Homo-oligomer: A and B are copies of this chain.
Amino acid sequence: MSIRIGILGYGNLGRGIECAIKQNPDMELAAVFTRRDPKSVHILTEGVPVYHVDEAVSKKDEIDVLVLCGGSATDLPEQTPKFAESFNVIDSFDTHARIPEHFANVDAAAKKSNHIAMISVGWDPGMFSLNRVYGSAVLPEGESYTFWGKGVSQGHSDAIRRIEGVLDARQYTIPVESALEAVRAGEQPELSTREKHTRECFVVAKEGADLARIEQEIKTMPNYFADYDTTVHFISKEELMRDHAGIPHGGFVFRSGATGWNKENKHVVEYSLKLDSNPEFTSSVIVAFARAAYRMHQEGMTGCKTVFDVAPAYLSPMSPEELRAHML
């Protein structure tokens, strides 16, 4: 019997979940829930119902794991504890500073209802977090480094769009090559914010807008750009659509450490991602962890879990015997 997945929220992430389910023969899409008029939402999978979100709880017996595809700012802090009362759930909550609070709320709800609720699944938090933990556990005497990009930052693109005179914008976060090389060489450099990443902005301005003022406002924007070397390119709407329609991302996690009685031997562990589609890769990670959530619940586990709590064998469709014979 397939693992029956529900999707709550059908944007980029929800569509990515739908595509990922198609690649996993042990899973099936059971239903999509939306806050919009269900008749207005057209999904890719034939024969699967779209319901209003208010109907979700009434369908709980038809769904093994509900994937929550809302945003971290306002949706998930409310949705994940709420739906953990009725479902095994999984989310991609990515506001790092608020994870402990989110964990506590979700854990209480999931323990009370005897469900598994997995939070903060994706690539950062997610696969990058795993590599930070493996790296630091294996090389305790060392330094960890995370670099992001080259990729589109939605938050930074939005910040540019809020500037007067801007019609649209796309911001790329780019790791500084010389910093990557120094870390890769085992030098364990201390790196400032500016030394780790640069920011490149492609901006469509309104006709007649003051471009010099817009560029100045971007480059001096606190938190978002002021601490970085930022370049701004003004381009046409057509160029933006043609050259910057994708949502690529990626990055690097390094652990650089030393071993030996006198730390005489250096080691560098590097994990990197190059992603054509940030939401689709995030979705693919979520679907693998949804399999784990289902299995862990089958074994009687309950409560809130993160990627740190999941033995890797739970993620794979292979049996433990197959994994040992072919993957170890």
Contact = CB atoms under 8 A, between A and B. Distances in A.
Nearest to A305: B311
Contact of A312 (B139, B264, B307): B307
B267 A273 contact: yes
Interface in A80-115: 96, 99-100, 103
Place the interface of chain A in its size category. 35 or more
B186 A44 contact: no
A280 B142 CA distance: 14
A130 B260 contact: no
A281 interface: yes
B311 A309 contact: yes
A101 to B, nearest CB: 10
Given A133-B316, A323-B308, A328-B308, A284 B270 contact: no
A140 B22 CA distance: 10
Given A138-B127, A270-B271, A316-B133, A324 B103 contact: yes
A259 B281 contact: yes
Contacts of A127: 134, 138, 269
A44 B261 CA distance: 8
